[in-house]
Structure 1
Protein backbone atom coordinates (compact mmCIF):
# COMPACT_ATOMS: atom_id res chain seq x y z
CA UNK A 1 0.00 0.00 0.00
CA UNK A 2 2.80 2.42 0.91
CA UNK A 3 4.37 1.76 -2.49
CA UNK A 4 1.11 2.66 -4.23
CA UNK A 5 0.18 -0.89 -5.19
CA UNK A 6 -3.46 -1.77 -5.79
CA UNK A 7 -5.15 -4.60 -3.95
CA UNK A 8 -4.92 -6.67 -7.14
CA UNK A 9 -1.17 -6.02 -7.42
CA UNK A 10 -0.64 -6.94 -3.76
CA UNK A 11 -2.61 -10.16 -4.22
CA UNK A 12 -0.61 -11.10 -7.30
CA UNK A 13 2.76 -10.45 -5.71
CA UNK A 14 1.85 -12.43 -2.58
CA UNK A 15 0.07 -15.24 -4.41
CA UNK A 16 -3.17 -14.79 -2.47
CA UNK A 17 -6.70 -13.93 -3.51
CA UNK A 18 -7.90 -10.38 -4.01
CA UNK A 19 -10.59 -11.00 -1.39
CA UNK A 20 -7.95 -12.00 1.18
CA UNK A 21 -6.08 -8.74 0.59
CA UNK A 22 -9.32 -6.75 0.89
CA UNK A 23 -10.18 -8.51 4.14
CA UNK A 24 -6.76 -7.86 5.66
CA UNK A 25 -6.80 -4.19 4.64
CA UNK A 26 -10.31 -3.75 6.06
CA UNK A 27 -9.16 -5.33 9.33
CA UNK A 28 -6.14 -3.01 9.47
CA UNK A 29 -8.35 0.03 8.87
CA UNK A 30 -10.77 -1.06 11.59
CA UNK A 31 -8.04 -1.84 14.13
CA UNK A 32 -6.33 1.53 13.59
CA UNK A 33 -9.54 3.55 13.23
CA UNK A 34 -8.69 4.61 9.69
CA UNK A 35 -10.93 4.96 6.64
CA UNK A 36 -8.68 5.44 3.62
CA UNK A 37 -5.41 4.28 2.13
CA UNK A 38 -4.10 7.84 2.42
CA UNK A 39 -4.78 7.82 6.16
CA UNK A 40 -2.91 4.52 6.44
CA UNK A 41 0.08 5.92 4.55
CA UNK A 42 0.12 8.98 6.82
CA UNK A 43 -0.19 6.80 9.92
CA UNK A 44 2.74 4.60 8.88
CA UNK A 45 4.86 7.57 7.83
CA UNK A 46 4.26 9.27 11.18
CA UNK A 47 4.94 6.04 13.06
CA UNK A 48 8.24 5.26 11.35
CA UNK A 49 9.63 8.78 10.91
CA UNK A 50 12.04 9.79 13.67
CA UNK A 51 10.71 12.58 15.83
CA UNK A 52 12.43 15.94 15.88
CA UNK A 53 11.73 16.27 19.60
CA UNK A 54 14.70 16.06 21.98
CA UNK A 55 14.77 13.14 24.42
Structure 2
Protein backbone atom coordinates (compact mmCIF):
# COMPACT_ATOMS: atom_id res chain seq x y z
CA UNK A 1 0.00 0.00 0.00
CA UNK A 2 1.20 3.44 -0.83
CA UNK A 3 3.97 2.24 -3.13
CA UNK A 4 4.68 4.17 -6.31
CA UNK A 5 4.57 1.70 -9.20
CA UNK A 6 5.61 4.31 -11.77
CA UNK A 7 9.23 3.95 -10.63
CA UNK A 8 9.51 0.34 -11.85
CA UNK A 9 11.80 0.28 -14.89
CA UNK A 10 12.06 -3.27 -16.14
CA UNK A 11 12.09 -4.50 -19.71
CA UNK A 12 10.40 -7.76 -20.62
CA UNK A 13 11.41 -9.40 -23.89
CA UNK A 14 9.30 -12.18 -25.42
CA UNK A 15 10.57 -14.21 -28.37
CA UNK A 16 7.70 -15.74 -30.34
CA UNK A 17 8.01 -18.56 -32.85
CA UNK A 18 6.93 -16.27 -35.70
CA UNK A 19 6.14 -12.64 -36.49
CA UNK A 20 2.47 -13.63 -36.82
CA UNK A 21 2.36 -14.76 -33.18
CA UNK A 22 4.20 -11.69 -31.93
CA UNK A 23 1.60 -9.48 -33.63
CA UNK A 24 -1.24 -11.51 -32.09
CA UNK A 25 0.31 -11.25 -28.62
CA UNK A 26 0.86 -7.52 -29.07
CA UNK A 27 -2.81 -7.01 -30.00
CA UNK A 28 -3.92 -9.00 -26.94
CA UNK A 29 -1.68 -7.03 -24.59
CA UNK A 30 -2.71 -3.70 -26.13
CA UNK A 31 -6.41 -4.45 -25.77
CA UNK A 32 -6.27 -5.68 -22.15
CA UNK A 33 -8.01 -2.95 -20.13
CA UNK A 34 -6.73 -4.17 -16.74
CA UNK A 35 -3.11 -3.83 -17.91
CA UNK A 36 -3.84 -0.28 -19.07
CA UNK A 37 -5.69 0.71 -15.89
CA UNK A 38 -2.95 -0.66 -13.63
CA UNK A 39 -0.25 0.92 -15.82
CA UNK A 40 1.73 -2.32 -15.97
CA UNK A 41 3.55 -1.19 -19.11
CA UNK A 42 4.32 2.09 -20.84
CA UNK A 43 4.70 0.87 -24.40
CA UNK A 44 5.12 -2.26 -26.50
CA UNK A 45 7.68 -2.57 -29.29
CA UNK A 46 7.36 -5.34 -31.86
CA UNK A 47 10.29 -6.22 -34.09
CA UNK A 48 9.72 -9.38 -36.10
CA UNK A 49 9.44 -12.27 -33.66
CA UNK A 50 10.42 -10.18 -30.61
CA UNK A 51 8.20 -8.11 -28.32
CA UNK A 52 9.68 -5.72 -25.76
CA UNK A 53 7.64 -3.97 -23.12
- Same fold by TM-score greater than 0.5: no
- Between Structure 1 and Structure 2, the one with more helix by share is 1
TM-score by length of 2: 0.34
- Between Structure 1 and Structure 2, the one with more strand by share is 2
TM-score by length of 1: 0.34
